[in-house]
Structure 1
Amino acid sequence: MEYRERYQSWLDDPYFDEATKAELRAITDENEIEDRFYQDLEFGTAGLRGKIGAGTNRMNNYTVSLATQGLAQTIINHGEKAMKKGVAIAYDVRQYSDKFAEIAARVLAGNGIKVYLFDDIRPTPMLSYTVRRLGTISGIVVTASHNPKEYNGYKVYWEEGSQILDDIADEILNEIDSIEHFRDIKVMELDEAKSKGLIEIIGGAIDDEYNDKLLNMAINDDIDKSVKIVFTPLNGTGNIPVRRVLKDRGFTDITVVPEQENPDWTFATVGYPNPEDTKAFKYARNLGLKVKADVLLATDPDCDRVAIGVLNDNGDYTYLNGNQTGALLIYYILSQRFEKGTLPENPAIVKSIVTGDLGKAIAKKFGVTTFETLTGFKHICAMANEWDITEAFSFIFGYEESIGYVYQDLVRDKDAVVSSMMIAEMAGFYKKQGLSLLNVLEKIYEEFGYYSEKQISIVLEGVEGQQRIKRMMDDIRHMPVESIGEMMLQKTVDYLSDETDAGRSNVLKYYMDDGSWYAIRPSGTEPKIKLYIYSKGKSEKDAKDKVELIEKVVRHRMESVE
């Protein structure tokens, strides 16, 4: 069916509500109609993510209910025990997140599946914790993470508490494809579902347990708890849990950015609520300069990612990227646990294939093995799930360059609440020694070598954008850049076709003969293609110069593809 036929069918079909039809009739741009209906909003291993609005290629009650019916049938296929174990559902601050969570709960209940629905907004890692704590078969969190305000999303978890992998995603997708019409979706009214015990509202008790277990993960208590921290949750879900754990941990000088303290789905003060982007620190920086904070801390809207700024010698803030913060956390955690003799047997950390190698070098010093996986915490935590069964290794830490970290096994996803607690502890530990986190990072570079990195995203929206991204990947896949300055191409890894331990994905990685590398991949959740650059140099300047040169050459090559 062509996009125009789909569009007209939504207008003509009495199943769709009048508000949806009015929104569609108001569209005057033909390209907008095409974008809304040229495809179904894709359900992948990241679940759903897209712009909010009417249409098959948008996040709305209909597409959410369709995905949930597919999940429900998948659970039914796994048997009555799976249905009784049920599904936990959490949601963030975004527009319609609560409505989408409710419609998902009602569809599951309509299919006879038990639901545990949170009473208010929660961080994504709390959904992972809840799946593990309640022993549910699955979990859903309604969030678009750090995407712009126009977006929302829907992530599915399985019983280990980590996001679904291809096997379950394929089952769900097959069930979605078998649904002929939205009217075939089973939906129960909320009050009826509650009265039948199919939907149970959950709240404070889970929060208390989660917080208590976080506190038990602390390594050192002999630290400077007066370390000055300015915190911004960027109007997201991190405000209450991060402040609570820091307060309970004993930190006495936490200042919250007032304009970004409370939930706001418009993200009026920040626009693009991604703490990877240093522009998101504007309000935190101004407040930090005013109170002379040692550290700025920013969590993204669903509080699974965290970024930091550190007061430098010039009286301003240096913003650390995910590789740098990850290296600091690995160095702190491993060195302290090594010193205390609390490292487990066969300890291991896990990173993605586009994350830098400094953490790996640090881990090696302390006798800790590093494993690499495809991008995404679903892959990182899949290794921890496997080790739960095989006991081959003990999972300590997982991280990605995109400011996602998880410590220990309380949750099986990136967790900005535990990461914020560990960053604060780390800052307090070194401050007591008269060191800032920048001082410690410099010491790490002096010991392990100077590393530099950069990530570039080229945004290409719509049908034509997706096609151009494919052409870019095809072009460089078949004709790689052979030399960049004095750096010569030494090795190519195509994760789509080459046999690797990491698995298969549309990622290209190019290793140069000096130890530098770069990788290219399309985003799985956003209309962009990403370039990851990583270098190792004899000095900070040498490492940074290499990054700039690689960026110049490779980006020019990518953008020359029409």
Structure 2
Amino acid sequence: MDAISFGTSGWRATLDVFTAPRVRMVGQATADYLDDVGSGDESVAIGYDARETSRGFAEELARVVAANGHDVLLPARDCPTPMVAHAIVTRDLAGGLVVTASHNPPEYNGVKFFPGNGSPPLPDVTEAIEANLREPVAAPEAEWGTIREVDLVEPHLDAAMALLAPDLDGLTVVYDAMHGSGRDVTDRLLERAGADVICLHCERDPDFGGTPPEPSPDRLQALVEAVREEGADLGVANDGDADRIGVVTPERGFLDENLFFAAAYDHLLESDTGPAVRTVSTTFLIDRVAQAHGEEVIETAVGFKWVADAVREHDALMGGEESGGFTIRGHVPTKDGVLMALLAATAESERRIDDRVDALLAEHGNVHQDKVSVDCPDSEKSRVLAELEGAFPDAIADRSVVEINPTDGVKALLDDGSWLLIRPSGTEPKLRVYAEAGSERRVDELLAAGRNVVEPLV
């Protein structure tokens, strides 16, 4: 049990730790939790990604959950994580589980839980599941639930089409599935909307072509080259379980996720109203776009569970984080890389994203952002963060500190509009140091200053 811990996005571990007996314990703890909150015999969806071991682990979970009296819906093939969340809401299920390690290398696997609202669970839910961890038990066989295969893809694609009503005729999009669960899903959605789609890495490969399925700049160079060689209008990619997106444009190549957020939100505001929700590590450019439209921004701690919670509370038009996870009003409040691919293409079809970003930066000023890590044992994180708030000098890299924001870690706001954030990693024994400023040189200066503040405390 000590090896099982739900972090910011479920439990992940290497396969020497992520074993069938422990997975069955998670299944039992989930069934106990659903019973504790009054879910009775309501159905549960259990999805899985494209990894070699994922289907088998999903079947282990299904058997345990069914033996506790819940009917289980199991997709016939691996599918994107957001499709499980969508099924939970639209089918009024008790909850769901997804066997996935997201963008981690193939030697990892993991499991995510979604309660009945389809959002990532808040800490009180995951803490309750961890408290329930135990060896599986079974109800009398006559009370067992059924396990049946269902299609979770088509209902989700139908919902995305209805929400955005896209017309992508004449648009050429290169789609990189990174060998993950978005293959024959995101590309199918784009084609249904009228786009000409060129596919990269759209064959299932449990080893993801030898590289982690993360849509980061260094791993999307083939997509950048394909967009330019094919004369395409846009490139999009999904991570391993397709809940995140990476975007490539002809002029910029890889489009920083912060800039995509700003462009997508600005596009949505042309025909709708509503606030945006962003994490403390996401760009202030979102605030400037919102202000220009008479809207507000709600800031949350890092982690999409906090974004989703605020999206619901404030009826936000869009919510997102700088790591590429986004959702919009009218959809399930969980990050969805499939829907975001369609949104990116829809925005591009109405106005080139490169042109929109150029206009936003001309109006609101350039923004650059980066981050570095500082090694810090998990046992020391709380102490270091407690000392940090009083350790910040009055000026950082020659600019005055005008405010200290303790929403998640410690964020210093400077008098020129730049900022420096130091917060704990939720998955590694490290502290993250983030900075945003008007130039790359300035970001580098702030990151160096941040390291100088935190390293003596570790």
Normalising by the residue count of structure 1, what TM-score does the alignment of the two structures yield? 0.76
- 1:330-409 to structure 2, matched below 5 A, reads 330-335=265-270, 337-338=271-272, 343=273, 347-386=274-313, 393-409=314-330
Partners of 2:457 and 2:403 lie apart in 1 by 23
Larger radius of gyration: 1
2:442 equivalent in structure 1: 546
**Aligned pair partner of 2:159 in 197, 208, 213:** 213
1:273 equivalent in structure 2: 213
**1:155-211 deviations in whole A, cap 9, x for unaligned?**
1111111111122222222222xx3xx3xx2269xxx98x9772332333x422211
Paired residues, what number?
A: 458
1:422 equivalent in structure 2: 343
Partners of 1:289 and 1:442 lie apart in 2 by 19
Q: Which moved more, 1:85-94 or 1:474-483?
A: 474-483
Partners of 1:467 and 1:384 lie apart in 2 by 32
1:396 Cα deviation after fit: 1.7
Q: 1:101 to 1:292 in 2, by over 3 A?
A: same
- 1:519-534 to structure 2, matched below 5 A, reads 519-534=421-436
Which consecutive residues of structure 2, in runs of 5 or more, have no partner in the other structure?
none
Asked if the contact 2:220–2:254 (Cα under 8 Å) also holds between the matched residues in 1, the reply is: no
2:244 equivalent in structure 1: 305
- 1:6-85 to structure 2, matched below 5 A, reads 39-44=2-7, 46-53=9-16, 58-79=17-38, 82-85=39-42
Higher relative contact order (CA 8 A, sep 6+): 2
1:226 equivalent in structure 2: 170
SS at match of 2:402: strand
- 1:440-479 to structure 2, matched below 5 A, reads 440-458=356-374, 460=375, 465-467=377-379, 473=385, 476-479=388-391
**Aligned pair partner of 1:240 in 163, 166, 184:** 184
Asked if the contact 1:95–1:152 (Cα under 8 Å) also holds between the matched residues in 2, the reply is: no
**1:273-311 deviations in whole A, cap 9, x for unaligned?**
211x21111322333343233322111010011111211
1:407 Cα deviation after fit: 1.9
Partners of 2:165 and 2:413 lie apart in 1 by 37
SS at match of 1:172: helix
1:48 Cα deviation after fit: 1.1
2:194 equivalent in structure 1: 250
Greater share of helix: 1
1:34 equivalent in structure 2: none
Partners of 1:321 and 1:261 lie apart in 2 by 23
Q: Which moved more, 1:110-119 or 1:410-419?
A: 110-119
Normalising by the residue count of structure 2, what TM-score does the alignment of the two structures yield? 0.92
Q: 1:470 to 1:170 in 2, by over 3 A?
A: closer
1:111 equivalent in structure 2: 68
Q: What is the RMSD of the two structures over their aligned residues, measured on CA atoms? A: 2.5
Q: Which moved more, 1:282-291 or 1:414-423?
A: 282-291
Q: 1:526 to 1:118 in 2, by over 3 A?
A: farther
Partners of 1:217 and 1:457 lie apart in 2 by 39
- Does 2:96 correspond to 1:139? yes
Partners of 1:278 and 1:494 lie apart in 2 by 30
1:68 Cα deviation after fit: 1.9
Asked if the contact 1:395–1:409 (Cα under 8 Å) also holds between the matched residues in 2, the reply is: no
1:153 equivalent in structure 2: 110
Partners of 2:247 and 2:6 lie apart in 1 by 33
Letter in 2 for 1:92: D
1:389 equivalent in structure 2: none
